[in-house]
Amino acid sequence: MTMTRRSVMVMGAGALVAFGLPMRASAAAEDAIAEFTGGADMGSEGLTLTAPEIAENGNTVPIEVDAPGAEAILVLAMGNPTPGVAEFKFGPLAGSHSASTRIRLAGTQDVVAIAKMKDGSFVKASSNVKVTIGGCGG
């Protein structure tokens, strides 16, 4: 297929419409964070959240969290009707303080992970995931 200037513009415009506006964080998400951290300040080093920049389908989005030395990691989807996704608690036999799973995202939004470290401090990481809307109902 040859890529003309026009086809690129058309595709770009279509994609903008498809992605729409990012969904806003809800009060419920803020409450969930407050409950997990007790309102403590959150650092930004030591937690890696891996999520695709663009998800082909919001029904199954692979993510990974990794925070060496964490006791627990909370994952929230800030734009979902209910923001909770999962809380990973690591036991004495955890080989690393990391985990992967597949999650549902109702639309383009920020996925947030917060790690509770062994010293009681908290670390936050955030990743914006664009969720595409397919052309065919299939």
Residues near another protein (CB under 8 A) are 1, 3, 7-8, 11-19, 52-57, 59-62, 64, 77, 80-96, 98-105, 130, 132-138
Task: Give CA torsion, residues 63, 111, 40, 96, to 10 deg.
Answer: 0
Q: Decide whether 10 or 40 has the Cβ nearer to another protein.
A: 10
Give me the least distance between CB of 120 and another protein, in Å please: 19
| Closest distance to another protein from the beta carbon of 58 (Å) | 9
Q: Smaller CB distance to another protein: residue 31 or 43?
A: 31
* Cα distances (angstroms) measured from residue 93 to each of 89, 96, 97, 117, 119: 11, 9, 10, 16, 19
Quote the CA–CA distance of 52 and 2 in Å, as a whole number. Answer: 27
